[in-house]
Amino acid sequence: MPSVHARRWLLSAAYTDSKMWEAREKDPQNLAVLANTMDRTYDRNLPVSSLIMSRFVDNISSREEIDQAEYYLYKFRHSPNCWYLRDWTIHGWIRQCLKHGARDKALHTLKNKIQYGIFPDDFTFNLLMDSFIKDADFKSACSVVEEVMLQEAFDLPSTQILSLYALGSYLATRPQLAVSEERALGASLLICGQKQDNTIGLSAQLLGNAFLGKVENLKGIHAVFKGMPLFWGRGYLGRALAIMERVAAASSDVKLSKDTLGYVNDLLHDLPLTSESDSSGEESGGEEDKKENTVDEDDQAEAAKLPEYVKKFKELSSQLESQGKVESTSFQDLVTALAQQNLAAAETPDLEQYESRVQAWEAEKRQLIQREKEMREKAEQEKQERLAAMAAAQQV
């Protein structure tokens, strides 16, 4: 099983170690008091400060308190101060969930980020993704990859490697996928694959385009790019074939993996020769979804190209085979080798950047604490002045 070996070479203990995070200056707080303060503030229709939310998350000490923090994250997100949830609070929330056995809460708040304001940085994404991978929960790991894709956060080589490993390991199980899941996987494979100009990257782009092409064939182009950072032009199956043509014409030793080509072949043969988008098996979520998922004449014209695409796929597959450009190693084994060879080196700059980021967070937090202190002192001074003025008026 890949998961048995994965523990040896996925993110190192140094990467996932919380010592640097735990070494920050402590600010012990009573959660009951903080909760009461927030409740009274919200009852008076006043904004809760980001510092109070930060203190609450920092002082979580049990699984039960994770549930309380989730409630207040939701309240904060729906308050006037919603834009001021601090990056270190988001990072701390994910770390607390991992620490207290609440990965399900971390993933829930991540997938419902609009409701909770959880938009992690790349390092935080890596920690959560790695946690799922090490337990061989590749479906949940791919859910994290989907969120990375939606935030277009594949900048770090480490994030690319972990994402490709999660995607490859999940696809190796040959899961039964709903159309919406094929869309998410397709977009993740395509966008992450574009960061790697090699056999792995091009194989991922091929399969990603094929998944999206299947969704386009069944549901129309609007169902593909709605809410996704994707190109809105029709012809995703055509783009998949263009990847094959590019590899066939390349002078380098780049190839396409055999099992990826097999996956694309199966996707093409799963599609009906005539569009059946109105009976694809997924219920619509309302009139707006029905309108946006309507297949128009241009979509039907694209779907009618399927026989042509199937024929061209067969021709290109034969051409790649004859050129020796079909990689016999599976996509999963390719991404496993990539992780084994490159992940350790990719960690070093991440850790350096993380150390700098934590220091910057601490400096910003100190400034906020100082500002909070000054505002309290000013408020107390104004209060005393008012009381003095009232006392003087009574004497008069």
pTM of the predicted model, to two decimals? 0.90
pLDDT tens for 292-335 read 457 889 999 999 999 999 999 999 999 999 999 999 999 999 99
Which tokens belong to 362?
Answer: 């601490």
CB atoms inside a 10 Å sphere around CB 340:
16
User: Mean pLDDT over all residues of the chain?
Assistant: 91
Q: Is the pLDDT of residue 289 over 60?
A: no
Residue 175 banded pLDDT, cuts 50, 70, 90: very high
Q: Which of 8, 7, 9, 17 is nearest to 123 (CA)?
A: 17
CB atoms inside a 10 Å sphere around CB 245:
13
Q: Which parts of the chain are beta strand (E)?
A: 256-257, 326-327
Residue 286 banded pLDDT, cuts 50, 70, 90: very low
pLDDT of residue 318: 97
pLDDT tens for 188-197 read 999 999 999 9
pLDDT of residue 293: 55
Q: Is the pLDDT of residue 6 over 50?
A: no
Q: Which of 202, 200, 223, 204 is nearest to 213 (CA)?
A: 223
Lowest mean pLDDT among 174-183, 293-302, 338-347: 293-302
The torsion region of residue 235 among left (phi > 0), alpha (psi -120 to 50) and beta comes to left
Q: b vs e for 71-110, b when ≥16 Cβ sit within 10 Å of the residue's Cβ?
A: ebbebbbebeeeebbbebbbbbbbbbbbbbebbebbbebb
Residue 5 banded pLDDT, cuts 50, 70, 90: very low
Alpha-carbon distance of 55 to 50, in angstroms, equals 9
Q: Of all residues in the chain, what percent carry a pLDDT higher than 70? A: 92
Alpha-carbon distance of 197 to 215, in angstroms, equals 25
Q: Which residue has the higher pLDDT, 390 or 117?
A: 117
